[in-house]
Structure 1
Amino acid sequence: MRSALCALGAAAALVLLPAGLAHAEGQEPDRDFTIEDSRVTESSGLAASRAHPGIYWTHNDQDAPLIYGIDSRTGKTVATLTMKGVGTPRDMEAIAVGPDGDIYVGDIGDNLDGSWDHVWIYRFPEPKELGDRTVAAKQYVVKYADGPRNAEALMVHPKTGRVYIASKNEDGGGLYAGPERLSSSGTNVFRKVDEVPWVTDGAFSPDGGRLVLRGYFSAKEYAWKEGGPGGGGLGDDGTAVGAPFQGQAESVTYTRDGSAFMFGSEGRDSRVLRVERPGAEHPSGKPKETPGGAPDSPSSPAAEGEKGNVTVGFLVLAGATILVVGVKRLLRRD
Structure 2
Amino acid sequence: MLSKPGGVLVRVFAVAGMTAVTVLAGQGARADDGERILFRFKDGRITESSGLAVSPTRKDVYYTHNDSSAGPVFFAVGPDGRTRATFTLRGAASRDWEGMAASTDPRTGQGVLWFADIGDNLEGAWPDISVYRVVEPATMSDAVVPAVRYRFRYEDGGRNAEGIMVHPRTGRLYVVTKQFAGSVYQAPKRLRTDRVNVLRKVGSAPIMATDAAYAPDGSSFVIRTYFSATVYRAPGEQIARVTMPELQQAESIAYTRDGKYLLTGSEGSRSPVYRVPLPQEALGTAAPEPTYARRQAAPTPTPGAAGDPAPTPVAAARDGEAASDAGVPVSAVLLWLAIAAGAIGVITLIARNTR
> How has the CA–CA distance of structure 1 residues 115 and 235 changed in structure 2, closer, same or farther, with 3 Å as cutoff?
closer
Whether the 8 Å CA contact 1:162–1:179 is kept in 2: the answer is yes
> How has the CA–CA distance of structure 1 residues 223 and 17 changed in structure 2, closer, same or farther, with 3 Å as cutoff?
closer
Structure 1 stretches lacking a partner, 5+ long: 24-30, 225-233, 281-313
Q: 1:305 maps to what in 2?
A: none
2:182 to 173, 177, 180: 173
What is the identity, as a one-letter code, of the residue corresponding to 1:211? F
Superposed counterparts of 1:180-191, under 5 Å: 180-191=189-200
> How has the CA–CA distance of structure 1 residues 145 and 324 changed in structure 2, closer, same or farther, with 3 Å as cutoff?
farther
SS in 2 for 1:98: strand
| Superimposed CA distance per residue, residues 24-44 of structure 1 (whole angstroms, 9 cap, x where no aligned partner) | xxxxxxx61101111111111
Q: 1:263 maps to what in 2?
A: 264
1:71 to 78, 81, 87: 78
> How has the CA–CA distance of structure 1 residues 15 and 78 changed in structure 2, closer, same or farther, with 3 Å as cutoff?
farther
Structure 2 stretches lacking a partner, 5+ long: 1-10, 14-19, 106-110, 282-331, 349-355
* TM-score, scaled relative to structure 1: 0.74
Q: Equivalent pairs: percent with the same residue?
A: 41
Whether the 8 Å CA contact 2:24–2:227 is kept in 1: the answer is no
CA distance in 2, matches of 1:320, 1:57: 38
Query: Shift of residue 169 of structure 1?
Result: 2.6
Query: Shift of residue 186 of structure 1?
Result: 0.9
CA distance in 1, matches of 2:246, 2:210: 14
CA distance in 1, matches of 2:339, 2:65: 24
Is the counterpart of residue 145 in structure 1 residue 155 in structure 2? yes
> How has the CA–CA distance of structure 1 residues 325 and 215 changed in structure 2, closer, same or farther, with 3 Å as cutoff?
farther
User: RMSD value over aligned CA atoms?
Assistant: 3.2
Is the counterpart of residue 129 in structure 1 residue 152 in structure 2? no
1:90 to 86, 95, 102: 95
CA distance in 2, matches of 1:161, 1:217: 29
Query: Shift of residue 264 of structure 1?
Result: 0.6
Q: 1:161 maps to what in 2?
A: 171
Query: Shift of residue 165 of structure 1?
Result: 0.2
Query: Shift of residue 273 of structure 1?
Result: 0.3
Q: 2:290 maps to what in 1?
A: none
Q: Point out the structure with the larger strand share.
A: 2
SS in 1 for 2:340: helix
2:104 to 78, 99, 104: 99
1:216 to 222, 226, 248: 226
Q: 1:322 maps to what in 2?
A: 340
1:201 to 200, 211, 234: 211
Whether the 8 Å CA contact 1:9–1:247 is kept in 2: the answer is no
| Superimposed CA distance per residue, residues 295-323 of structure 1 (whole angstroms, 9 cap, x where no aligned partner) | xxxxxxxxxxxxxxxxxxx89x9589837
Query: Shift of residue 263 of structure 1?
Result: 0.7
Query: Shift of residue 16 of structure 1?
Result: 11
CA distance in 2, matches of 1:125, 1:102: 5
2:64 to 58, 62, 72: 58
Superposed counterparts of 1:6-25, under 5 Å: 7=13, 18=30, 23=36
CA distance in 1, matches of 2:27, 2:100: 27
Whether the 8 Å CA contact 1:45–1:250 is kept in 2: the answer is yes
What is the identity, as a one-letter code, of the residue corresponding to 1:175? V
Corresponding pairs, count: 273
Superposed counterparts of 1:287-302, under 5 Å: none
What is the identity, as a one-letter code, of the residue corresponding to 1:95? M
Is the counterpart of residue 112 in structure 1 residue 122 in structure 2? yes
What is the identity, as a one-letter code, of the residue corresponding to 1:190? L
SS in 1 for 2:145: strand
| Superimposed CA distance per residue, residues 59-104 of structure 1 (whole angstroms, 9 cap, x where no aligned partner) | 01123000111112x1101111100022x21000111112212111
CA distance in 1, matches of 2:169, 2:341: 41
Query: Shift of residue 11 of structure 1?
Result: 7.8
* TM-score, scaled relative to structure 2: 0.69
> How has the CA–CA distance of structure 1 residues 143 and 13 changed in structure 2, closer, same or farther, with 3 Å as cutoff?
closer
Whether the 8 Å CA contact 1:51–1:128 is kept in 2: the answer is no
Q: 1:49 maps to what in 2?
A: 55
> How has the CA–CA distance of structure 1 residues 320 and 243 changed in structure 2, closer, same or farther, with 3 Å as cutoff?
farther
> How has the CA–CA distance of structure 1 residues 131 and 17 changed in structure 2, closer, same or farther, with 3 Å as cutoff?
farther
Q: Point out the structure with the larger helix share.
A: 1
CA distance in 1, matches of 2:262, 2:45: 24
Whether the 8 Å CA contact 1:9–1:248 is kept in 2: the answer is no
